Amino acid sequence: MATAPQIQSVIDYRHLVQDGRLHGSLYTSPQIFADEMEQIFHRGWSFVAHDSEIPNTGDFVVRRVGTQSLIAVRSKDGEVHVFYNRCPHRGATLCQTSSGHRSRIACPYHAWTFALDGRLIGLPDEAAYPADFSKADAGLTPVARMDSYGGFIFVNLIPNELTLREHLGHATELIDALLGLSPTGRIQLSAGWMKHKMRSNWKMIVENQVDGYHAPMVHGSLIAANRTFATVRDRKPTSPTRVRDFGMGHSDIDHASDYRAAGDRLFRWTGGIDPERLPGYVKAMNDAYGPEDARRRLIEGPPHSMLFPNLSLAEMNIMVIEPVSPQHSIQYTIPVFLEGADDLNARTLRRCEGAMGPAGMLIADDAEIGELTQMGVANLEPEWIILSRGMGKEEVLANGVKLAGLMDETSQRGFWTHYREVMAASQEVSQ
């Protein structure tokens, strides 16, 4: 069973994470980072892959969850399996590429060979092993738990008490909203992932994904240069856009509230494409959902959300955050293609490249401010980080979801509240 290095002393997370302020060591401490890998990424649910990435028998992807390298592969019966990327013989890494297609999985060390469902099916000179050696006991090791929602596959390496549905909670509404932009209710992640090395702690990327406060400063040059980006949304403190804390660490920026307030115009979330330029997609949506509901979906658009701990539904992009060290992370980005929306998908690819590509207008800004923040928190003083904008002013709905203004730090506090419970609860149980 996987486990991270043992923590040598107890860290008081209820002291480090307070309502409205955080201790700077949360972004810099190697001990806290190791603790997070164990308590959040190994003992909790994490996103690992989408089933559209491995549509055919033998397709596989390799992903890292916490400190563990995993293989997600589709077997001959159509099922998806997730195994540790380690040969049970002498421990060699089995798959060295991030994705590919194989009829079987062979170890590069001694050629032990495994079926796509993990069974050991061959090894050189099998008769040299003792009589009680059994191939049935030497297959690939699956993760403890795997489950999916809307094609998004999650794993839990060391079982906890929560089902995936309980972990997702109200965040299923966000996945449903994204899938509901497809006439078939399905998305395809087939364009290939972009990979950016970020010189910042993984939690800074999480926070930034649902931060409505930074755009006028961090993306000021883009706003000045791009009239469409500047005007398609109300970015003022008085904007009708709400940030939402869904609980369980999940949050979003609800731009739909802005689009609805701005009027009955479709596709503001695409940058304002004229609906007449997407006749096939509009017709398919009308046929699938009826004109009234299709119109609502095309006005409100996709979610702009962060699902604890590593998956962002970033409108028409999917982002995955991979922690590397306290000071380094990798951000993966891929455009969302909607099944049944070919005329929109080509435009989505171009927008993703323009915003998130190597020369993209958004990601460079966010990477730089993340690096500057990481450098800043490495200083010993001031000891605390302030995270109290809008605190105490949130509207709490009957289902517990909290709403606040676009620039309030409610979404970040939602993340940190759940983080504190996860990190502190594990220590309290062990005492």
The rounded radius of gyration (Å) of the Cα atoms in the chain is 23
Cα dihedral 42→93→147→308 (10° resolution): 40
**252-279 as b/e: b if 16+ CB within 10 A:** bbbbbbbbeeeeeebbbbbeebeeeebe
User: How far, CA to CA in Å, does 276 sit from each of 33, 125, 266, 273, 283?
Assistant: 50, 67, 11, 8, 11
In the chain, % helix, strand, coil (3-state, to 5) comes to 35, 25, 40
C-alpha–C-alpha distance, residues 80 and 406, integer Å: 39
User: How far, CA to CA in Å, does 294 sit from each of 86, 141, 337?
Assistant: 47, 44, 18
pTM of the model: 0.94
C-alpha–C-alpha distance, residues 392 and 10, integer Å: 31
C-alpha–C-alpha distance, residues 423 and 421, integer Å: 6
Residue 25, pLDDT score: 97
Task: State the helix-helix crossing angle for 202-209 and 363-377, rounded to 10 degrees.
Answer: 130
C-alpha–C-alpha distance, residues 375 and 123, integer Å: 51
Cis peptide before 382 (omega within 30 of 0): yes
Q: What does 303-325 look like in DSSP terms, one character per residue?
A: -EEEETTTEEEETTEEEEEEEEE
Who's near 185: CB < 8 A, 6+ residues apart? 179, 339
Q: Are 411 and 245 in contact (CB under 8 A)?
A: yes
Weakly modelled stretches of the chain, pLDDT under 50: 1-7
Residue 431, pLDDT score: 57
Q: Is the dihedral of CA 218, 223, 224, 226 positive or negative?
A: positive
Nearest Cα residue to 153 out of 35, 310, 40, 306: 310
Tell me the two tokens of residue 419: 């983080």
Give the strands of the sheet with 194-198, arranged side by side.
194-198, 328-335, 317-325, 311-314, 304-307, 250-254, 242-247, 402-405, 395-396
Cα dihedral 285→287→288→289 (10° resolution): 80
C-alpha–C-alpha distance, residues 69 and 386, integer Å: 35
C-alpha–C-alpha distance, residues 260 and 243, integer Å: 15
E strands of 295-389, at which residues? 304-307, 311-314, 317-325, 328-335, 337-338, 384-386
Tell me the two tokens of residue 285: 């949506």
What single DSSP character describes residue 7? P
Q: Is the dihedral of CA 264, 270, 272, 276 positive or negative?
A: negative
18-50, pLDDT tens digit by residue? 999 999 999 999 999 999 999 999 999 999 999
**393-418 as b/e: b if 16+ CB within 10 A:** ebeeeeeebbbbbbbbbbbbbbbbbb
Nearest Cα residue to 139 out of 162, 105, 101, 108: 105
Strands 17-18 and 21-23: antiparallel
Residue 382, pLDDT score: 95
